Amino acid sequence: MIPYEELSIVNAPYRKELAACFEEVVVRGRFILDREVELFEKEFASFAGCSFGVGVASGYDALCIILRSLDLSPGGEVIVPANTCMPTVLAVIHAGFQPVLVEPDFRTYNLDAALMERAITRRTVAVVAVHLYGSCAPMPELVAVAERAGVPIVEDCAQAHGASIFGRMAGSWGAASAFSFYPTKNLGALGDGGMVLTRSADLASKVKAWRTYGETQKDTHTYPGVNSRLDEMQAAFLRIKLRDLDRMQAHRKTIADIYDAGLGPDFIRPLRRQGYTDVHHIYPIRHPERDRLREHLAKNGVQTKIHYPVPPHRQPVLQPVLSGQEFPITDEISRTVLSLPVSTAIEPSQAEEVVRVLNRF
Ligand SMILES: Cc1ncc(COP(=O)(O)O)c(C=O)c1O
């Protein structure tokens, strides 16, 4: 069996170190917003080329808190890609805004600057750009459009730790960015976790207040904040794994390179663009007979996933918001896309076996 993901294998190299730091944190007896979170915030911000990091409880919370901290007109429209996972869209709604879904570029699966520009209205207050599957959205173009329109871009980097465009990291392009450390992410905790990155000291201190009940100083609650803190234990675990992230990324790239080079022309592979460094969070292929292909792989011991089988515009919760709008590109991606195993839990020889199985289809 070639697993899609196996976290016990992914975390095996760190078991001793994780156990030792668990012990250390327990002995220290400080579990909320202490040294580990502070150090991890600094280390992760510096990794992603940003000045400030604020650890929060999840990627979803990171998005909600950014949107609530940016002083946007309440109830305004926020542009989001139609081809994303539900947390991106729900964060917009939860923060009190109206999501406006925009079709992706069919070749990159990410936002298309021209379509985004067409969706901007007088009510647009922000854009959330998602770097889907570990490939950056076209930030130079998106930033140019957003600047002309005078709206901030928030980056959803949940799938893109370490991705970059011409050396500039995902998370360092917009007004602020949201990262998830959900266990299966390229940098995954042993539970939930998230981070807001920004280059603005003001925004960082507002986000810090928002994550602890809106408290700007002891016993002064300036915003209607929430409880959303990255905890010390997860921050300590993440510090250990961050030190090894380059190796994990290189492993994913080795697997992705095997697929890129080996898959026959019947499979639509991810587009590799000059200057774009992808981090292969997901390896999506497309095929017109996706479901039959998936069965063929399963019969031959290869686990796969679909990101995403039911796109946001087909979710019951969004029907009242979208009032029957159609998204044919997103539907077509959702109908034909298939994610191949690409984590550090699989070996290059297993990726070669996946290629053989696929090319026999
Ligand atoms: C693109 C994207 N945005 C947001 C999220 C939400 O992150 P979390 O699960 O940490 O809340 C995820 C992860 O599920 C994601 O893949």
> Percent of the chain scored above 70 by pLDDT?
100
| Distance (Å, whole) CA 8 – CA 23 | 20
Predicted confidence band at 2 (pLDDT cuts at 50, 70, 90)?
very high
Atom of ligand 1 nearest to the CA of 281: 16
Listed residue (322, 332, 327) closest to 288, CA to CA: 332
Is residue 323's pLDDT more than 90? no
Listed residue (36, 84, 90) closest to 61, CA to CA: 90
Predicted confidence band at 238 (pLDDT cuts at 50, 70, 90)?
very high
| Distance (Å, whole) CA 225 – CA 90 | 18
Q: Which residues approach ligand 1 with their CB closer than 6 A?
A: 58-60, 84-85, 87-88, 130, 156, 158-159, 180, 182, 192, 194
Q: What's the average model confidence in pLDDT over 183-198?
A: 98
Token pair, residue 66, equals 């950014």
- CATH 3.40.640.10-classified regions of the chain: 7-242
Q: What's the average model confidence in pLDDT over 224-236?
A: 98
Predicted confidence band at 5 (pLDDT cuts at 50, 70, 90)?
very high
- The pTM of this model reads 0.98
Amino acid in position 69: S
| Rounded distance from Cα 311 to ligand 1 centre (Å) | 14
* Alpha-carbon distance values, 70 to 3, 113, 126 (Å): 41, 22, 9
- ∠ CA 280-284-286, nearest 5°, is 160
Q: What's the average model confidence in pLDDT over 212-234?
A: 98
Length of the chain: 361
Query: Domain spanning 245-359 has what CATH number?
Result: 3.90.1150.10
Q: Which residues sit opposite 53 in a β-bridge? A: 197
Is residue 177's pLDDT more than 90? yes
Give the distance, in angstroms, between the CA of residue 338 and the centroid of all CA atoms in the same chain: 18
Dump pLDDT digits (tens) for 104-140: 999 999 999 999 999 999 999 999 999 999 999 999 9
C-beta contacts of 256-261 below 8 A and 24+ residues apart: 256/280, 256/283, 256/342, 258/348, 258/351, 258/352, 258/355, 259/283, 259/285, 259/340, 259/342, 259/351, 259/354, 259/355
Is residue 76's pLDDT more than 90? yes
Q: What is the pLDDT of residue 193?
A: 98
Atom of ligand 1 nearest to the CA of 182: 10
Is residue 229's pLDDT more than 90? yes
- What is the best residue among 61, 136, 180 to mutate for testing ligand 1's pocket, by most ligand atoms within 8 Å of CB? 180
Q: What is the pLDDT of residue 212?
A: 98
C-beta contacts of 144-149 below 8 A and 24+ residues apart: 144/113, 145/113, 145/116, 145/117, 145/120, 149/117, 149/120, 149/124
Cα-only R_g, the chain: 20
**210 CB neighbour count, 10 Å cutoff:** 26
Dump pLDDT digits (tens) for 32-68: 999 999 999 999 999 999 999 999 999 999 999 999 9
| Rounded distance from Cα 200 to ligand 1 centre (Å) | 23
| Distance (Å, whole) CA 173 – CA 139 | 7
Among the four given CATH numbers 1.10.10.10, 3.40.640.10, 3.40.50.150, 2.70.98.40, the one describing domain 7-242: 3.40.640.10
For tokens 């975390």, the residue is 11
Q: What's the average model confidence in pLDDT over 238-262?
A: 98
Is residue 324's pLDDT more than 90? no
- CATH 3.90.1150.10-classified regions of the chain: 245-359
Q: What is the pLDDT of residue 12?
A: 98
For tokens 């990324």, the residue is 249
Q: What's the average model confidence in pLDDT over 182-203?
A: 98
Edge-to-edge, what's the strand order for the sheet holding 168-169? 168-169, 164-165, 276-277
| Distance (Å, whole) CA 156 – CA 126 | 13
Q: What is the pLDDT of residue 107?
A: 96
Asked whether the beta carbons of 238 and 187 are under 8 A apart, the reply is: yes
The sign one gets for the Cα dihedral 265, 269, 273, 275 is negative
Looking at residue 201, the DSSP 8-state letter turns out to be H
Token pair, residue 99, equals 């999501």
Asked whether the beta carbons of 80 and 63 are under 8 A apart, the reply is: no
- What is the best residue among 60, 185, 192, 282 to mutate for testing ligand 1's pocket, by most ligand atoms within 8 Å of CB? 60
Residue located nearest, by CA, to atom 2 of ligand 1: 158
